[in-house]
Structure 1
Amino acid sequence: MKNKYKVPADTRIGHVHLKVADINRSLGFYRDLLGFEVMALYGDQAAFISAGGYHHHIGLNTWHSKGLPPAPENSVGLYHTAIVYPERKDLALIYDRLVKADYPLSGASDHGVSEAIYLNDPDGNGVELYWDRPRELWPYDSDGGMQMVTKAIDLEDLLMELGF
């Protein structure tokens, strides 16, 4: 079935709202570890965080989830939030920070079009941290179809971006 309507090419996802059990614990992850800036804080009910001063890229709230356990892994819901970094060096910096904090990763992959690191926030919400390769380097098949892959990422090579 062919789509009759196409979303405009410059359309983007504006923000994601996550239900969390504890705002301060979530801020420890998103603000203190990943480096997002708090734009607005509403006590222990909600926080709006951003990269670069935007009103918010991520909303965190406890409106229906305060003190509750994570959602079951084998259920419907958000698989992960993907955070794209502008350069490979930026991904290397956050990976280095995660290693130094001894924060557990759930995976790391080279997808041909991008390199990604996977982890979970304190509430079990999946988080993908990645950077996109320039489009001219993306792999395509002989018919012009994009060929995403999942192979091991060379994390030592990633850290070489930092001169280690």
Structure 2
Amino acid sequence: MTLSAQLTHFGIHAVDLDRMVDFYTRVMGFVVSDSGVGRSGARVFFMTQNPECHHQFVLFDGRPADVTYNPVNQISFRLDSLDTLKGYRQALIAEGITEHRVTDHGNAWALYFKDPEGNPVELYTDTPFYTPQPCGEPLDLDQTNDQILATTEAMCRGRPRFMTREAWMQSIQDKLDAR
């Protein structure tokens, strides 16, 4: 028997739950699909952007304000297009979140920022290319989509083991089938 698991959602604890729910609904575009109080007594908000998925993201009360490190390494959201990535950048700027790291990973274009509680967030969209990771080159989202695509393709073709995203996906499927 082959085991397969698909990541569908994740949850984090918040210091200021109401502020976090506001940010992720108003700025990030999630809707609250359910809310209540869990068995532990913590308030919980289930959020989604997909009507086929009850929740993709869950926020809980209970993160201590005095924790000396951020227990969240990264929250990543895959977007449908470069235009959507650019749109989120503008929404973040309008929200006053102007500290961004914009990166061309070769296989993805990404925008990194911190949410209201300092959690690292990545917004990304896939490119049509594969290049070995880690890879992180500067990305200028003020360029046209065609300029960005051409720059990324040239960068990827100059690195070892270049292939299209489709070829890479097939190589992963082959590995999965061989299990």
Same fold flag (TM > 0.5): yes
Q: CA deviation at 1:151?
A: 1.1
Larger Rg computed on CA atoms: 2
Structure 1 CA distance for aligned equivalents of residues 106 and 143 of structure 2? 15
Q: CA deviation at 1:33?
A: 0.6
Q: Could you say which residue in structure 2 is the equivalent of 1:150?
A: 136
Residue 130 of structure 2: which of 133, 138, 160 is its match? 138
Q: CA deviation at 1:12?
A: 2.5
Unmatched 5+ residue regions in structure 1?
A: 1-5, 140-145
Q: CA deviation at 1:160?
A: 8.8
Q: Which has the higher contact order (CA 8 A, sep 6+)?
A: 1
Q: Could you say which residue in structure 1 is the equivalent of 2:122?
A: 128
Per-residue CA deviations over 1:51-94 (Å, capped at 9, x if unaligned) read 122211110000x32xx326434x6x331110000111111111
Q: Could you say which residue in structure 2 is the equivalent of 1:47?
A: 45
Equivalences, count: 142
Q: Could you say which residue in structure 2 is the equivalent of 1:32?
A: 26
Structure 2 CA distance for aligned equivalents of residues 155 and 52 of structure 1? 26
**Which TM-score applies when normalising by structure 2?**
0.69
Check conservation: 2:78, 2:123, Cα contact below 8 A.
yes
How do 1:11-160 and structure 2 match up within 5 A?
Answer: 11-42=5-36, 45-53=43-51, 54-62=53-61, 64-65=62-63, 68-69=64-65, 71-73=67-69, 77-134=71-128, 137-139=129-131, 146-157=132-143
Gap change, CA 1:156 and 1:23, over 3 Å in 2: same
Q: SS in structure 2 opposite 1:157?
A: coil
**Which TM-score applies when normalising by structure 1?**
0.75
Structure 2 CA distance for aligned equivalents of residues 158 and 24 of structure 1? 37
Unmatched 5+ residue regions in structure 2?
A: 148-179
More helix, by proportion: 2
What is the alpha-carbon root mean square deviation over aligned residues?
Answer: 2.7
Q: Could you say which residue in structure 2 is the equivalent of 1:142?
A: none
Structure 2 CA distance for aligned equivalents of residues 127 and 158 of structure 1? 24
